Each structure stands twice: as C-alpha cells, then as structure tokens.
C-alpha cells in the first residue's frame, strides 16, 4: 500500500505533466481540432456515463431511449466534424485534397432535337422558302449533281443522275446524264443566243447523229419530263414549293405539317418537312410532300412528292409511299459560287459532244 503522502506527491507530478502536455498541445498547430475531438469524445462518453448512473435505478430495466438518441447523434456529429488535416497544415495539400474530393458536376443534357407541328411548322417553312428565294437571287451560277425520278403518263421512270450547270440571268442550262436510260446524253439551253430552242445530243449510234433542236414545251421535249427545261434548277423548285405552301396555310387543320431538325441528307444536316393532306379536294395532285432544307446553305436540296392512290393503277394500300411516288428531285454537292464563264454554255466547248 502506498502512503497517503506519496499518493499526493504522485498525483501532483501527474497533474504537472498533464499540464505541460496540454501547454505543448496548445503551442502546436492543430490544437483546436484536438480540443474539439476531446470535446466530441466527451459528448460521446456522456450517454454512457448517464447509463452507468441510470442502471443503479431499480425502476429501469433497459437503457433509456434518450440516451441512445444522444449517443447516435454524437457519433454522427463527431464523424462529420473530424478534420482530415489539422489547422495550420500545408494549404496546398488541403486545396488538393478538396479538389480531389469535389463531386463531379452533373452531365450536361444533350441538345434535344426540334420537333414542330401544325401552323407553326407551316409558317417556319414558308419563312425559310422566302429566305431561300432571296439567297438564290444573289447567286449568279452554280453546279451540282442532280437526281430525279418522275411519273409520266402513269409510268414511273428509272432514277436518273446528271451533272447540271445553271446560270440564272440570262437562264442557261447544261445537263449531262450519268445514270439511267440516257447515259452520256447532253442537253444545252438555249441552243445559242439567237436560238431559244434547246439542244439535245443523243448517245445513240455513238453520238454520231446531229444534235436535235427542240422547243422547250414541245411534246418530244416533254416526253421524258414533267416540267420544261425553263423550270429547271433549285430556284424554280423553291418558288413552286413556296407558292403551294402559301396556298396550304389557308387550309388550316386540313393539312398536317411536321418539321424535324435531326435529319441528314448526303451527309449534311437538314430541316426535314413533311406535309400531308386530308383529302384530294384540298390537293388534287399531292397526297404527301417531303422537303429538305440544307442547314448551312439554307436552300431546298430535296423534294419528294406522292399522289393519291386512285391516280395510280398499281397503287398498293399497304405500301402507299413506294407505289404512289409522283416526282423526286435532289441536288447534291452544290457549289453556289461556281463563277461559270460563257464557255460553260457554248456548244463548241471541247468537253461537250454536240454535233
């Protein structure tokens, strides 16, 4: 057994040592967080101390719920407030740790596609067609790959592909067929400055026959075309479509219009319009029309129109679009600033085979 005097001396030494330890802690960086932790540990220990006192009470048979709630709350607070880095530590490390633990920003939502219907879509199409007309007024000449397929006298022709050179004022057109029944056929309009007829060089017999001179609206010239050569080109297609849409807007809900901007044509983004008519009284010729407007050039580049089943002998009710096509026109690889010279529309051009 230790003597009481020795016990008092031991307690004094222990007190001095603990005081020195506390003083050293206060001098060191981070003493506040250490004191805070001690305070938290004290809060955590408080419920247990209360439970120790409460267990001696005879009328209690189980731990008090309040003590359990204090215990859980103290533990949660201690976990949240505990510092990973003491106060006064290297600031760069703290910033770096904060950057690493920073939650990632929410992903940006992808731009949704535009989908318009009804009168709004109709008005937007009319506005785009009017703007395209104005743009084409400023274009002197252009070149493109022209594709067409037409129903003539009830028969749907094969798809034709040709190279087109076109000048607006004065109107000059050169066509050369690259795909279809008339491969290597060439057409020039007008035949000359003083000759308003069109010039056609047939590929038959090796092109040895002299070129034909035809009136643009003659039956022979129109035997394989729905429209005369004077209506060739993007501008005429734009003007015709605009005229029809300005008439359609008066029909109100009897015509359905849809616009989407998530389509592509020939690898380029386009505004895709679909127009459907309720009955043939509102549109005698067309049942459904599809139009693509190039987003960059802002001009029509594709037009595909369907007629009514009763106007086609072999129309299939289960596959109307495939059996009621009346006309399809497409312009690819358009160069609006071609700057064509006079030789592009001269029959004596060495690249042409006119005789």
197 shares its domain with 267: yes
Confidence of residue 114 (pLDDT cuts 50, 70, 90): confident
Verify that 249 and 143 share a domain, yes or no.
yes
Is the predicted pLDDT of residue 121 greater than 80, yes or no?
yes
Stretch 69-85: mean pLDDT = 55
Distance CA 339, CA 165 (A): 10
Distance CA 341, CA 345 (A): 8
Q: In the chain, pLDDT over 70 holds for what percent of residues?
A: 68
Q: Does residue 101 sit within a domain?
A: no
Higher-confidence residue of 5 and 138: namely 138
User: Of 289, 280, 282, 236, nearest to 125 (Cα)?
Assistant: 289
pLDDT band of 82, cuts 50, 70, 90:
low
**Residue 351: inside a domain, yes or no?**
no
- Same domain, residue pair 73 and 137: no
- 81, 179: one domain: no
For the residues 146-166, what does the mean pLDDT come to? 95
Band of residue 333 on the pLDDT scale cut at 50, 70, 90: very high
pLDDT band for position 70 (50/70/90)? low
Residues 160 and 66 in one domain: no
User: Mean per-residue pLDDT for 78-105?
Assistant: 53
C-beta separation of 245 from 255 below 8 A: no
Q: List phi, psi (to 5°) of 76.
A: -65, -45
Give yes or no: residues 277 and 195 share one domain: yes
Q: What is the mean pLDDT of the chain?
A: 81
Q: What is the number of domains present in the chain?
A: 2
Domain that includes residue 282, residue range: 115-345
| pLDDT for residue 204 | 75
Same domain flag for 80 and 202: no
Q: Which two tokens stand for residue 218?
A: 């003659």
Q: Which comes out higher in pLDDT, residue 29 or 338?
A: 338
Does residue 322 fall inside a structural domain?
yes
Which of 7-21, 232-246, 295-309, 331-345 comes out lowest in average pLDDT? Answer: 7-21
Answer yes or no: is 303 within a domain: yes
Same domain, 82 and 122: no
The whole-angstrom distance between residue 4's C-alpha and the CA centroid of its chain comes to 91
Mean local confidence (pLDDT), 31-52: 50
User: What value does the CA radius of gyration of the chain take, rounded to a whole number of Å?
Assistant: 43
Residue 109 falls inside a structural domain: no
Structure tokens belonging to residue 152: 């003539």
Together in a domain, 76 and 147: no
Residues shown for the chain:
355
| CATH classification of the domain holding 163 | 2.50.20.20
| 299 pLDDT tier (thresholds 50, 70, 90) | very high
User: Does 303 have pLDDT greater than 70?
Assistant: yes
% pLDDT > 90, the chain:
60
Q: Are residues 126 and 243 in the same domain?
A: yes
Last residue of a domain, one of 56, 90, 124: 90
DSSP 258-273: EEEEEEEETTEEEEEE
What is the mean pLDDT of the segment spanning 4-10? 63
Please check the confidence at residue 132 and state whether its pLDDT lies above 70: yes
The confidence score (pLDDT) of residue 124 equals 96
Residue 1 in domain: no
The whole-number pLDDT of residue 20 equals: 55
Do 244 and 319 reside in the same domain of the chain? yes
Torsion of CA 223, 174, 244, 316, to 10 degrees: 50
Q: Are 300 and 234 in contact (CB under 8 A)?
A: yes
């Amino acid at each position: 057994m230790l003597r009481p005097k020795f016990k008092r001396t031991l307690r004094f030494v222990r007190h001095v040592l603990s005081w020195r330890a506390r003083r050293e802690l206060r001098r060191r960086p981070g003493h506040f967080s250490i004191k805070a932790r001690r305070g938290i540990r004290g809060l955590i220990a408080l419920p247990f101390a209360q439970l120790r006192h409460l267990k001696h009470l005879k009328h209690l048979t189980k731990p008090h719920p309040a003590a359990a709630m204090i215990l859980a709350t103290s533990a949660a607070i201690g976990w949240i407030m505990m510092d990973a880095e003491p106060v006064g530590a290297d600031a760069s490390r703290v910033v770096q740790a904060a950057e690493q633990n920073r939650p990632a920003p929410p992903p940006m939502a992808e731009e949704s596609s535009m989908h318009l219907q009804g009168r709004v879509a109709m008005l937007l199409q009319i506005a785009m067609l009017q703007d395209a007309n104005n743009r084409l007024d400023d274009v002197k000449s252009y070149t493109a790959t022209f594709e067409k397929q037409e129903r003539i006298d009830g028969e749907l022709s094969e798809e034709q592909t040709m190279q087109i050179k076109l000048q607006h004022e004065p109107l000059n057109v050169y066509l050369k067929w690259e795909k279809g029944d008339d491969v290597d056929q060439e057409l020039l309009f007008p035949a000359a400055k003083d000759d308003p007829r069109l010039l056609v060089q047939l590929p038959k017999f090796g092109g040895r026959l002299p070129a034909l001179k035809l009136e643009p609206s003659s039956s022979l010239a129109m035997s394989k075309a729905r429209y005369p050569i004077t209506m060739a080109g993007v501008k005429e297609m734009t003007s015709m479509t605009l005229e029809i849409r300005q008439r359609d807007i008066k029909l109100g809900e009897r015509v359905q219009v849809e616009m989407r901007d998530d389509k592509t044509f020939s690898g380029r983004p386009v505004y895709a319009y679909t127009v459907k008519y309720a009955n043939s009284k509102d549109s005698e010729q067309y049942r459904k029309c599809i139009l693509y407007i190039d987003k960059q050039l802002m001009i029509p580049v594709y037009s595909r129109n369907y007629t009514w089943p009763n106007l086609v002998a072999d129309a299939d009710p289960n596959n109307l679009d495939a059996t009621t096509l009346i006309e399809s026109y497409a312009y690819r690889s358009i160069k609006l600033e071609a700057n064509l010279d006079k030789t592009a529309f001269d029959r004596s051009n060495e690249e042409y085979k006119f005789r």
